[in-house]
Chain A
């Protein structure tokens, strides 16, 4: 198992370097540099060209591209992620400030959608063709077809604006109030995100379960005289588990990257929200770092998926 993980890591690490290089290169192609962003254009017109180039030199911008990349990546590896163009705040401060909010929301959504998505999907598959199955299928289809922000807005309108049961958005800082004060703020975005994710998990686990139940070994299990629950769960669900784990694994990056659109709709102060602000404000260093964090999250998630599938599927393990 250890060699298995090490082998996967050997693929992940170079990948991160290549991507960081490409992202750095991409942002190099954007107009302007740190200096022109930091200084107001009006101020810039009053500053002499020498002063500008002095500032560039001070920031190391006159060095070649590769040199700058090298300096940057060494800094990143030492935990110095650079500074945001807006206000010059260290990026690490911003990220660690926003991460708890994102983790909180995504964690609720992933746990909820995994539990209910699997339960409903498996139930639906076992009752294939029944009224329950058909209704669940339609609900699942709605869930993957309605734009999440639209669903969020409708929920906002009904529960926050019209019924006024819940606050319209935002998040109270931890420790600021008790959990009961903070909870209502979490309910709407958490609920919307969880429902949207549940629809996908449900559809997927239903088809994985149906696929598994149509295999020959199910007939063998039945011919052995096993009870139906054992055939369905010990044999059927166990085999359907592998694809379901892969799907859920692909959701893990939202733990770090956040759900960009839902956070925006509910003004949830998470990483996704910060990312939008950075893209809008052309705060390139921040955009770059958040993108890289989410790539890191994806690669780690795929590592976790690999390890988990190897754990549940002996065919992968012994390859």
Chain B
């Protein structure tokens, strides 16, 4: 029996080289994505969440590269080292869309405005399946129906601008799910949508996970979403995963000062106006002026001398790991 791990990332480093500077956008992250489970990656904007997603898909911009580490996709036909595949080469193209699919943040701009929704869904099927054109058309309609789009026979021939935001994101998901991918990467899929629509989209994603045993990697900055959907959580800060574990581990007994600060900064519904919301002091450092040691140290209430050296990742339980020199003092 194969293991339930769909994709594993080890010590991944991705650096950006724009403006003749070197930005260590991802500075050594490791995690696994499991079948039928949702891994949530949380963090502030600019912490490297989206870069991680792009790296896995080999969708990085020209002025960036994978420096070290590995991305291993555990396919049925054997392990594939995605980090070693040529960008936009034939092998990665076979995986993209078919085995690992991605949904983007803004459904308004992620769809091509001059083609019908149907055309854009069918395109994926044309390249990754052997279905006939007729079957493809039928499948596109079925997909839209599955995503809860009313009158799919009619809407399949409509253009993106005729769809509402939520509908477009459903169409995006239909497109991503068209070839039954093993892994679905969703990069803040609901940030651009209304709250009520958000709930519908998440429900849909949960359903897909259960029905197709898809591994989901969900990128978000919303702790509420994490609590709702995640099986596992990884908290990212400045290109590192500072704390990772099961939902219970991370949300119920957070160990890293950053995770705690994040959780403390969320207002809780029903607690009224009197609740004390603690903001995290200071601001995210300039990515070019990273501290030598723990990157959260300058903003951390518990920082000591030991934090001047980059802390190692430590497992505090089988599932729960943390990157902090002083986590014992914190709890």
Contacts and interface: CB of A to CB of B under 8 A. Distances in A.
Interface string A212-223: 000111011111
B15 to A, nearest CB: 20
B112 A225 contact: no
A223 B59 contact: yes
B114 A238 contact: yes
Contacts of B113: 217, 239, 313-315
A182 interface: no
Interface in B102-125: 102, 104, 106, 109-116, 123-124
Give the most central of A219, A225, A235: most B CB within 10 Å. A225
A216 B96 contact: no
Interface string B215-250: 000000000000000000000000000000000000
B159 interface: yes
Contacts of A235: 112
A272 B94 CA distance: 57
B209 to A, nearest CB: 19
B159 A318 contact: yes
Interface string B27-44: 000000000000000000
Contacts of A225: 92-98, 124, 127-128
B114 A239 contact: yes
B127 A221 contact: no
A221 B93 contact: no
A227 interface: yes
B101 interface: yes
B128 A314 contact: no
B96 A223 contact: yes
A227 to B, nearest CB: 6
A97 interface: no
B127 A224 contact: yes
B175 interface: yes
Contacts of B92: 225
A226 interface: yes
A219 B62 CA distance: 13
Interface size of A as a range = 20 to 34
B159 to A, nearest CB: 4
B106 A226 contact: no
Contacts of A217: 109-113
Contacts of B127: 224-227
B253 interface: no
Nearest to B172: A220
A217 B162 CA distance: 17
Given A216-B104, A314-B161, A315-B161, A221 B94 contact: no
Interface string A86-115: 000000000000000000000000000000
B111 A313 contact: no
Nearest to B111: A217
Contacts of A238: 112, 114-115
A223 B112 contact: no
B307 interface: no
Contacts of A221: 112, 123
B49 to A, nearest CB: 16
Interface of A: 215-217, 219-228, 230, 235, 238-239, 312-315, 318
Given A220-B110, A225-B124, 13 more contacts: A216-B109, A219-B59, A220-B111, A223-B57, A225-B98, A225-B128, A226-B93, A227-B93, A228-B88, A238-B114, A238-B115, A239-B112, A315-B161
Interface of B: 57, 59, 88, 92-98, 101-102, 104, 106, 109-116, 123-124, 127-128, 159, 161-162, 172, 175
8 contacts: A216-B110, A217-B110, A217-B113, A219-B110, A221-B123, A223-B57, A314-B116, A318-B162
